[in-house]
Each structure stands twice: as C-alpha cells, then as structure tokens.
Amino acid sequence: MIETGLRPRGLGPRAAYDVTMAAADGGTTERRGARPFLTAEWRYLAMLNFEIAPAVLRPYIPRGTELDEWQGLTLVSVVGFRFLDTRVRGLSVPWHRDFDEVNLRFYVRREVDGEVRRGVSFVRELVPRHAIALIARLVYNEPYVACPMRSRIDRTHGLEEAVAVEYAWRHARAWQRVSVRAFGRAAPVETGTESEFVTEHYWGYTPQRDGSTLEYEVRHPRWRVWPVLDGRLDCDVAAVYGPAFVEALSNPPASVLLAEGSAITVFSPTWLPR
C-alpha cells in the first residue's frame, strides 16, 4: 500500500485539544492559564541520530540553556515528518495545513525552580511553503528555509507490517533525502532508552536577535516506534547545514528511529531575559 502525502491510515483523526493533556509519564497534567498557539499532527517521524562534538553546537545553544546529553554523548538528529491538519489559534490556512518538514535539531535542558525542562533547539528547518518559512523567521527567528520537497510513505498492513518513509528536498538543483525502513509492529518507547531520550523532549528553545531566548512548550502523548531495519541520509551537509556539521553527519548514525507520531499542541511562547 502506498500512502503518499495523505493522512496516515489506521492512526485515527486529530485528537481534540483539551487543557488536560497526556504528560511525559503517561499521566495527566493541568496547565493552568495555558494558551494553545498551534495544533497539528506530527506523523511518520524518521529520526537519524548522530554523535557530535559539543564544541560544534556551542555557538547555537540558546542563552539560559545547556546541552542535554545521553549517557555522556551529545547528539544531533535529522528528523523528517508529516505536518498535518495544522491550525494556528484554531484556524487553518488554505494550502498550508499539510506539508513535510525536515529539520536538524539538538538537545538542551533548563532548570526552573527545581523542574528540569528538557527541550530541543534547531540548526535548520526545511519546509516547502515560503509563507511558513518567512513568518517563522521574521516573528520568532526560527531557522526555517523554504525549498521544493516531496515525500513517500509505503506501508504494508497485516501480520508482517512493513513501513518505508522518505523525505526529500531539492537544493542547488539536486534532490537530497532522509529515509528509514522498518519491519514489525510499533510498540511504546521503553523507559530509560535512547529512543526515550530522543522523543521525550517537551520544550523548544530559539535564540533571538537581541540575545534573549524564546521558550515554548509542546505537548503530545508518548509515541510508539517501529523496529527499524535501516536509515540513510543523502545530503550535501556543508551546503545545507554548514561545514561544521560535515564530520558528524558523514558518519553512520548512532541510532535510527521511526515513530508513529500523534496529535500535538504547541503553547504560546515566552521570552527569557538576557
């Protein structure tokens, strides 16, 4: 079965937003006074995770945060996924509801009154819609770039379930891609694993032009992941992400994940002082 550019079958409709949402530990947490900014579905998340020297990331670390490590290792992830049923303040914009995104992200943490907020920050985010990239750059200084993109999702249902996903983008007249193949049934992320570390970050941090940091919360239930056969990155790393990332992203990935994804809610951001 080929499902290309369509809502994934068998994963259910977009969950209605409620202020009481699933927390990271599987329970519920009430976020009083929370105001959702964006709701959507993130589906078929292909994640290639690479070890990297911390020094490469230091210029990108948002003020007020520090690098978050997995068992002493610093990771960056190339993540491709389907962004579906996108709504801002409950409103959808024609021709901008469903699209692909491929990003390069790393992991940070911030402590607030004894609470450790584990989050991500982005080096580059690729999308096919110029309006999305422009607004994200101008308003929030998010490192978005618009370029032609396409995706392919092949999924075979039944006793022997197989999933293959590919997210491609065109840069300098050449198509580049991230792809993952998986086989078997998706299962919940196990506690204490690298898969949990990569998927269970619920905050986003973005450096601002004036030196401050934008902080926003992302809520979603724990994801299920498929057993992965292999993953591949075909990319002109220097041109897309910068020469500093060539060494790390030219090595085989430390791990590869393929997550089902879920409905998500992004809450209104706040600015941390300089």
Q: How many domains does the chain have?
A: 1
Is 13 among the domain residues?
no
Q: What is the CATH number of the domain that holds 105?
A: 2.40.400.10
Count of CB atoms situated within 10 Å of the CB of 251: 11
What 3-state class would DSSP assign to 137? helix
Strand 162-171, strand 174-183: pairing: antiparallel
Residue 10 in domain: no
Task: Give the single-character DSSP code of 158.
Answer: S
Query: What value, to the nearest 5°, has the Cα angle with vertex 13 and ends 11 and 16?
Result: 125
Instruction: Report phi then psi at 156, rounded to 5.
Output: -110, 120
Residue 22 lies in a domain: no
For residue 196, being part of any structural domain is answered with yes
Enclosing domain of residue 104: 37-268
Q: Which pLDDT tens digit goes with each residue over 29-67? A: 444 456 898 899 999 999 999 999 999 999 999 999 999
Residue 111 domain flag: yes
User: Residue 240: which of 185, 180, 191, 176 has the closest Cα?
Assistant: 176
Polymer length of the chain: 274
Token pair 């580049």: residue: 176
Digit-coded pLDDT (tens) for 144-179: 999 999 999 999 987 778 999 999 999 988 999 999
Distance CA 166, CA 162 (A): 14
Tens-of-pLDDT digits for all 274 residues of the chain?
333 333 333 343 333 333 333 333 433 344 445 689 889 999 999 999 999 999 999 999 999 999 999 999 999 999 999 999 898 887 677 778 899 999 999 999 999 999 999 999 999 999 998 888 998 889 889 999 999 999 999 999 877 789 999 999 999 889 999 999 999 999 999 999 999 999 999 999 999 999 999 999 999 999 999 999 999 999 999 999 999 999 999 999 999 999 999 999 999 999 997 7
